[in-house]
């Protein structure tokens, strides 16, 4: 009888370990490390002590999924959250909120709302410092990662093994560099900012590869001509300035130009680093689908008008932004693609994440996900 019991226990233990091993090997990434701006910030901006735009730490931000504000610039989850879920990983904790004994081996988020690819001194020199949300640029975020690295792995062999099963998201970053120039009205100078921004991003990628990163996902920019902010700030009485979706042609054309330059630069980095796998995330293409046919994708209230705002043709008003006096949030944000004029809703971010994880908007494709995004 005792032998029988021991055999049963041994059999159960073997099956359990086999199942655990199967789960582990079926998950292609053991960790995710994210760098970027408000598109993927999960709390660093608020934890940095920044005093500008504190409304993102208040309701109605976060109302859809978390039921309270988390520091995410949306009503719910972001693309990075959906990617983590798809690969069976927890939501990434913000670096600035880490505690001493916190388990960080499943990844960390270094993104900060308002962050730029270029260092703040670039904007100060250009006289654009009044537009800066934060000084925590991409290079600062890289410094945070390097500082944290000894807590993740010790020897080079350990780090190589660990990072070979980690996904590094570098962006979206660079969008604010463009925004700040546009805010100042330097529209004709936008193309001039592209080379240094792209160089800053590719330099960061090369540094991460030198630190051991082997799989990096690099998003491009969105169709910014469809943003409620751009549509409001650069509203035109000339119908020829708009495409069939109601978006500003000039700014979408610029975003496409920027993405082309970024793609060309990524190809150069690939050639120099054959040991790494560098993927491009086509945010433009993934989002353009619901801008072109919002109703077909469930956005029955459209893709251009903000869910939360203070009125106007696109429900965006700088004097009554989402969360401020005079603003109001829609009843059902899942029927809107735009959340607050600048950022998208959870429903829109889910749709973009589907395009990356399930395909076909990641080039080359991301590794197969154990949990497809529904």
Domains along the chain with CATH numbers: 31-299+356-363 (3.40.50)
pLDDT score of 13 more than 70: no
What is the rounded average pLDDT of the residues 135-158? 96
pLDDT of residue 23: 39
pLDDT score of 190 more than 90: no
Of 37, 38, 40, 75, which one is the catalytic site residue?
A: 38
Query: 110 and 374 in contact (C-beta within 8 Å)?
Result: no
Of 37, 41, 334, 343, which one is the catalytic site residue?
A: 343
pTM: 0.91
What is the rounded average pLDDT of the residues 260-283? 98
Residue 184 neighbours by CB distance under 10 Å: 15
> Catalytic site residue 340?
yes
Exposure on the CB side of residue 178, measured as CA atoms within 13 A: 25
Distance CA 102, CA 305 (A): 40
What is the rounded average pLDDT of the residues 107-118? 97
pLDDT score of 20 more than 70: no
Cα→Cα distances 261→196, 218, 223, Å:
11, 13, 15
Rg for the chain, CA atoms, rounded: 22
Per mean pLDDT, which range of 106-120, 171-185, 348-362 is the poorest? Answer: 171-185
Of 74, 340, 362, 369, which one is the catalytic site residue?
A: 340
Query: Is 158 strand, coil or helix?
Result: helix
Distance CA 11, CA 5 (A): 10
> Catalytic site residue 292?
no
pLDDT of residue 1: 45
> Catalytic site residue 296?
no
């Amino acid at each position: 009888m005792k032998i029988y019991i021991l055999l049963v226990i041994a059999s159960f233990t073997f099956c359990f370990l086999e199942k655990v091993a199967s789960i582990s090997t079926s998950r292609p990434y053991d960790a995710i490390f994210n760098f970027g701006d408000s598109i993927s910030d999960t709390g660093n901006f608020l934890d940095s002590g920044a005093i500008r735009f504190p409304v993102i730490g208040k309701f109605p931000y976060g109302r859809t999924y978390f039921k309270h504000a988390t520091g995410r610039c949306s009503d719910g989850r972001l693309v990075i959250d959906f990617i983590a879920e798809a690969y069976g990983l927890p939501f990434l904790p913000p670096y600035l909120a880490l505690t001493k004994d916190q388990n960080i081996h499943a990844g960390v988020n270094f993104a900060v709302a308002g962050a730029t690819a270029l260092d703040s001194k670039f904007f100060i020199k250009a006289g654009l410092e009044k537009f800066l949300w934060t000084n925590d640029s991409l290079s600062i975020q890289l410094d945070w990662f390097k500082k944290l690295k000894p807590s993740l792995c010790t020897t080079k062999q350990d780090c190589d093994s660990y990072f070979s099963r980690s996904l590094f998201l570098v962006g979206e970053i660079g969008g604010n560099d463009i925004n700040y120039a546009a805010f100042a009205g330097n529209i004709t100078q936008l193309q001039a900012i592209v080379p240094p921004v792209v160089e800053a991003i590719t330099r960061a990628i090369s540094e991460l590869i030198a630190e051991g990163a082997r799989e990096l996902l690099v998003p491009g920019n969105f169709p910014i001509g469809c943003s409620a902010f751009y549509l409001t700030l650069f509203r035109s009485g000339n119908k020829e300035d708009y495409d069939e979706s109601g978006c500003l042609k000039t700014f979408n054309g610029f975003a496409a130009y920027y993405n082309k330059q970024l793609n060309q630069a990524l190809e150069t980095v690939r050639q120099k680093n054959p040991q790494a796998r560098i993927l491009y995330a086509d945010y433009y293409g993934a989002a353009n689908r619901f801008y072109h046919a919002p109703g077909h994708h469930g956005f029955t209230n459209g893709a251009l008008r903000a869910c939360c705002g203070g009125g106007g043709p696109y429900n965006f008003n700088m004097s009554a932004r989402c969360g401020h006096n005079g603003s109001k949030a829609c009843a059902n944000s899942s029927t809107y693609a735009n959340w607050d004029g600048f950022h998208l809703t959870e429903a829109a971010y889910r749709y973009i994440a589907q395009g990356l994880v399930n395909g076909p908007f990641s080039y080359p494709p991301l590794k197969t996900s154990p949990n497809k995004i529904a």
